Structure 1
Amino acid sequence: MNTFMDKLENVLMPVADKLNNNRYLTALRNGFMVALPLIIFGSIFVVIANLPIEDFIGEEAYSTLQDTLGPASAATLSIMGLFVILGIGYKMVEQREGESIYGAAVALGAFLILTPQVVDEVSGVIPTSALSAQGMFLGIFTAFIAAELYQYFVSKNFTIKMPAGVPSAVSRSFSALIPITFTLTIFLAIRIIFDYTPFETVQNFIYTVIQEPLTALGSGLPATLIAVLLIQVFWFFGLHGQIIINSVLDPIWYTLNDQNYQAFQAGEELPNIVTKQFIDTFIVGIGGSGMTLAVLIAIFVVAKSRQMRELGKLGIGSGVFNVNEPVIFGLPIIMNPLVIIPWLLAPVIVAAVTYFSMSIGFVPKPSGVIVYWTTPPVLSGYLATGNHIMGGVMQLINMGIVFMIWLPFLKVMDKQYYEKEKNAA
């Protein structure tokens, strides 16, 4: 067993280390973190605007409530890609210790140059769909390339040097002028070139060649189960599996999430089961990675050893809010062969059961509303499914599955701890 674990560690650790330290994935992850508060703000008002209170206040008042609160989500959640682009551009240049605000500006400018500004034959208008998760793939690539080009021109000293005594804000602005001009000119040339291709726009090219195939792959059950399993494997070796996998798959999951959100707002059938909230609410959002809130409950049921009882008391408070470091490091889970089977198996089974339950209509699909990750289980399931009680019920079922899988392994661990404590006494 130890030999196998050593070999697995030797394979996974270098891969995970490269992913963790890759500057593009780091900028992508941090770019999403910049956008997250705005996304959460918009999601809160979507939830409020869609509370099941129409029968109590009347159809007209309910419609007025939705119209009144609509701008909150329209100005944030509906154009989330815009904030991600700004965040990535900022973080990319910040990593090189450059003028990060110009990284955000040039990323946004490059993206807007590539974006057709026509809606229903009316020119000079930017479609909000291009600024949402639908345009995120192009936005991500554009932000990466624009920030790199900007920093390249800065590093080659293609800048205007202002004399001493000029205010620093003015000096920095002129220093950025030539790098930004060169960068945006390149993107303008790219747009002109695509005008003469069968794709007509860069958006059509990205969607056809990259986004559509990846989104279709990411929305399926097999890819989801592999992602969930990898999260658990990385965590087992002490690496933050959620950050590593999210860095790669968040653009896909957010795109799927946005498709559901648009359908939910329009009152149409939701197209996707797997979305960002499918992962965050029905797997990670039940005590953290590995769904360890159910593990803590099982500890309270079986624990005789003092170590396990104290761990339960220590972890339950934070576990309710999906913070599970006390369990991961206190049980422990990292590099503990006694728990590798339930640790890897439980989330995969839960993902499959939840997917099947949503596919047959037992539980509504995630509505696309972003529920903050610290929201306690049951409440988060209710909110994520468009204020439907079956979302919370599904989370309770998932907790029961995790509880039953972990129970025999916790009994074995508790017996070992108990025997050690007796011998020590």
Structure 2
Amino acid sequence: MNNKFMQYLEDFLLPIADKLNNNRYLTALRDGFMVALPLIIFGSIFVVIANFPFLDKLIGEEAFATYQDLLGPASAATLSIMGTFVIIGIGYKLTEHYGGEAIYGGVVAFASFLILTPQVLDGVEGVIPTAVLGAEGMFLGIFTAFISAELYRFFVGKGWTIKMPAGVPGAVSKSFNALIPITFTLTAFLAVRIIFSFTPFDTVQNFIYTIIQEPLTVLGSGLPATIIAVLLIQVFWFFGLHGQIIVNSVFDPIWYALNDQNLTAFQAGTELPNIVTKQFVDSFLVGMGGSGMTLAVIILIFLIGRSRQLKELGKLGAPAGLFNVNEPIIFGLPIIMNPLVLIPWLVAPVIITVITYFAMSTGLVPPPAGIIVPWTTPPILNGFLATGNAWQGGVLQAFNLFIVMIIWWPFLKILDKNYYENEQKEETKSE
């Protein structure tokens, strides 16, 4: 890699990263995700174990269903509601930054989020949908945590607290000190919920998803629409919003219909009519380590990583990444709100989409045959099966991983260098 290019990237990106890393909100965001990381990794491991590809064929569907039911709580109590831990972590860390009682900042953030959350599921009152406690509710949760922590700090700073006399146990005194600030903070969020209940959106969640999803409905199939869809997935993830949930909810009906047309043609032995299908996206983009094809990042970490942080992250993320579960990398690198990885995070999937499309349109690789391959199927095998057992599909996935590694290399090198130098500084301070 050209040294001048590397130097240019460092000169351009590192000052931006330094400024953003010194921003209290982004620091709280990063540290909040670190609070959730052990739970995310635990849940990711059991998602892989519970979804080994083709296990249902080996032990039977009934036994497989029982097996998944037994292991399901591991991910349901961690990965599925990871937004809960992130919200508490952000509120805690931001309040800690201000020198306040951090634990109250954490719990008021979560309580504020719950006030905004409709507690109805399939018409049943008093039930909190777990989906909104996970990645789906992350976007709203992040900003709720920021605002609630600021409101709590504001009310504490105004001295609107109950001062207990000397001799009262510390835990009791702190609890009463937090009572009025928490009350005012939660009341503000209750007012927001009431206001939204008189709008066509009904809830804040509906408002967010409506303004995001409606513009996507004008898009159709084909390469331009697919590029836009893939790019949006990456942009949403960068800001902490589950891009696949949002984009797939709009495109899945189109992609599945195209998939079925290919399956019918494949079974009849006729020419496959479509290139872009559900399996095109799932196998040749998401099916290479998860959103953003982060298996390539894990491989690079093992090849060029010097910092302890990245080395340990690679070890933790590799088993899950091999089966296309990449939450450890997304939240551990991190990818969310990290300016050092924004360019490869956005560019690599778009380039791979174009390469895959033209490889299939020119006949170098057969289009997806319409076969739904389990999403946890490792790369190479995934591409082979998706194209109707064509070896070219596996080769294309291997080639795409190599391209992603090339794109990520200079940026990961800079990130690793940044982490390594910070680690050296910390070691020097401790001596």
The reply to whether TM is greater than 0.5 is yes
Measured in 2, the distance between the counterparts of 1:114 and 1:163 equals 36
1:28-85 superposed Cα distances (whole Å, 9 cap, x missing partner): 2222222222222222222112222233322222121011111222222222222221
Matched to 1:39, the amino acid is: I
Evaluate the alpha carbon distance shift between residue 170 and residue 128 of structure 1 in structure 2; reply closer, same or farther with a 3 A threshold. same
1:49 maps onto 2:37 in alignment: no
> 1:31 maps to which residue?
32
Matched to 2:157, the amino acid is: S
Matched to 1:22, the amino acid is: N
Q: How does 1:15-414 map to 2 (within 5 A)?
A: 15-51=16-52, 52-209=54-211, 221=227, 249-252=238-241, 254-256=242-244, 277-279=290-292, 281-288=294-301, 293=303, 321=315, 352-353=351-352, 356-357=355-356, 360-361=367-368, 381=379, 396-398=398-400, 400-401=402-403
Please tell me whether the aligned partners of residues 34 and 87 of structure 1 are also in contact (alpha carbons under 8 angstroms).
yes
1:96-123 superposed Cα distances (whole Å, 9 cap, x missing partner): 1211111110011101111111112211
TM-score (norm 1): 0.61
Please tell me whether the aligned partners of residues 88 and 144 of structure 1 are also in contact (alpha carbons under 8 angstroms).
yes
Evaluate the alpha carbon distance shift between residue 280 and residue 363 of structure 1 in structure 2; reply closer, same or farther with a 3 A threshold. farther
Evaluate the alpha carbon distance shift between residue 259 and residue 382 of structure 1 in structure 2; reply closer, same or farther with a 3 A threshold. farther
Where 2:200 maps in the other structure, the secondary structure is: coil
Evaluate the alpha carbon distance shift between residue 37 and residue 53 of structure 1 in structure 2; reply closer, same or farther with a 3 A threshold. same
Evaluate the alpha carbon distance shift between residue 403 and residue 175 of structure 1 in structure 2; reply closer, same or farther with a 3 A threshold. closer
Matched to 1:25, the amino acid is: L
Evaluate the alpha carbon distance shift between residue 113 and residue 98 of structure 1 in structure 2; reply closer, same or farther with a 3 A threshold. same
Please tell me whether the aligned partners of residues 47 and 383 of structure 1 are also in contact (alpha carbons under 8 angstroms).
no
Evaluate the alpha carbon distance shift between residue 115 and residue 281 of structure 1 in structure 2; reply closer, same or farther with a 3 A threshold. same
Please tell me whether the aligned partners of residues 213 and 246 of structure 2 are also in contact (alpha carbons under 8 angstroms).
no
Evaluate the alpha carbon distance shift between residue 281 and residue 191 of structure 1 in structure 2; reply closer, same or farther with a 3 A threshold. same
Where 2:161 maps in the other structure, the secondary structure is: coil
Where 1:197 maps in the other structure, the secondary structure is: coil
Measured in 2, the distance between the counterparts of 1:128 and 1:207 equals 17
1:173-206 superposed Cα distances (whole Å, 9 cap, x missing partner): 1111111001001111111111111211111112
Measured in 2, the distance between the counterparts of 1:318 and 1:75 equals 24
Matched to 2:31, the amino acid is: N
Where 1:198 maps in the other structure, the secondary structure is: coil
Please tell me whether the aligned partners of residues 292 and 348 of structure 2 are also in contact (alpha carbons under 8 angstroms).
no
TM-superposed CA distance for 1:319, in Å, is 11
Matched to 1:279, the amino acid is: G
Please tell me whether the aligned partners of residues 346 and 405 of structure 1 are also in contact (alpha carbons under 8 angstroms).
no
> 2:271 maps to which residue?
none
Matched to 2:351, the amino acid is: A
Evaluate the alpha carbon distance shift between residue 2 and residue 56 of structure 1 in structure 2; reply closer, same or farther with a 3 A threshold. closer
Matched to 1:37, the amino acid is: P
Matched to 2:352, the amino acid is: V
TM-superposed CA distance for 1:131, in Å, is 1.3
Please tell me whether the aligned partners of residues 138 and 203 of structure 1 are also in contact (alpha carbons under 8 angstroms).
yes
Where 1:165 maps in the other structure, the secondary structure is: coil
1:355-390 superposed Cα distances (whole Å, 9 cap, x missing partner): 754995499999887xxxxxxxxx9758999x9999
Evaluate the alpha carbon distance shift between residue 61 and residue 31 of structure 1 in structure 2; reply closer, same or farther with a 3 A threshold. same
Q: CA RMSD in A?
A: 5.0
Q: Percent of aligned pairs with the same residue?
A: 55
Please tell me whether the aligned partners of residues 283 and 350 of structure 1 are also in contact (alpha carbons under 8 angstroms).
no
Evaluate the alpha carbon distance shift between residue 204 and residue 27 of structure 1 in structure 2; reply closer, same or farther with a 3 A threshold. same
Q: Which deviates further from its counterpart, 51-60 or 190-199?
A: 51-60
Please tell me whether the aligned partners of residues 280 and 368 of structure 2 are also in contact (alpha carbons under 8 angstroms).
no
> 1:305 maps to which residue?
none
Matched to 2:240, the amino acid is: P
Q: Which deviates further from its counterpart, 391-400 or 27-36?
A: 391-400
TM-superposed CA distance for 1:398, in Å, is 4.0
TM-score (norm 2): 0.61
Matched to 2:296, the amino acid is: I
Please tell me whether the aligned partners of residues 36 and 86 of structure 2 are also in contact (alpha carbons under 8 angstroms).
yes
Where 1:277 maps in the other structure, the secondary structure is: coil
> 1:307 maps to which residue?
none
> 2:417 maps to which residue?
none
